Structure 1
Amino acid sequence: MAKRNQHVVPHDRGRAVKPTGGERASSVHDTQREAINRGREIARNQGTELFIHGRNGQIRERDSHGRDPYPPKG
């Protein structure tokens, strides 16, 4: 299975976690916090990125769990 970035997006039943390019949500949660926690868990396990979208659909935050080509120095 290919590793794909995870997105926390608005859903008619709360918030959903969806992989990049995925049609269906991998999980649906009542609260944004629950969705972020699940999305972060998946991203950590896969070594990918987590994108958190606001109500308007725009990315408002991102969390990298992959190999950073430009890590912070010192």
Structure 2
Amino acid sequence: MTEKANKRVVQRRDDGRTEVRKPGAARASAVVGTQAEGVDRAREILGNDGGGELQVRGLNGTIRKQDTVKPGNDPRSTRG
């Protein structure tokens, strides 16, 4: 049995604000003013939920940054 990864994506909305969203969710977990606030809020949400993957997307939708929030299970053996 495989465990589904706990993940949050931080991305810009059409209205210019930034959202924190769990993939597949109908609504955002949080809507904030800046990307930095979104990353902080996503880390807080993941930390409260037992850790997981944090993904930051650029304006064109590509992944800019990806990180594991403790105590998540990092699939890579190197830091980053």
TM-score by length of 2: 0.75
2:54 to 36, 47, 50: 50
Q: Note if contact 1:13-1:29 (Cα within 8 Å) is conserved in structure 2.
A: no
TM-aligned CA deviation for residue 70 of structure 1: 4.2
Q: Note if contact 2:5-2:53 (Cα within 8 Å) is conserved in structure 1.
A: no
CA pair 25-68 structure 1, distance change in 2 beyond 3 A:
same
Superposition pairs of residues 1-74 of structure 1, within 5 angstroms: 4-11=6-13, 12-46=15-49, 47-65=51-69, 66-72=72-78
Percent identity between the two aligned chains: 39
Which ranges in structure 2 are unaligned for 5 or more consecutive residues?
none
TM-aligned CA deviation for residue 23 of structure 1: 1.9
Q: How many residues align?
A: 71
Q: Structure 1 runs of 4+ off > 4 angstroms?
A: none
RMSD: 1.9
TM-score by length of 1: 0.81
Which ranges in structure 1 are unaligned for 5 or more consecutive residues?
none
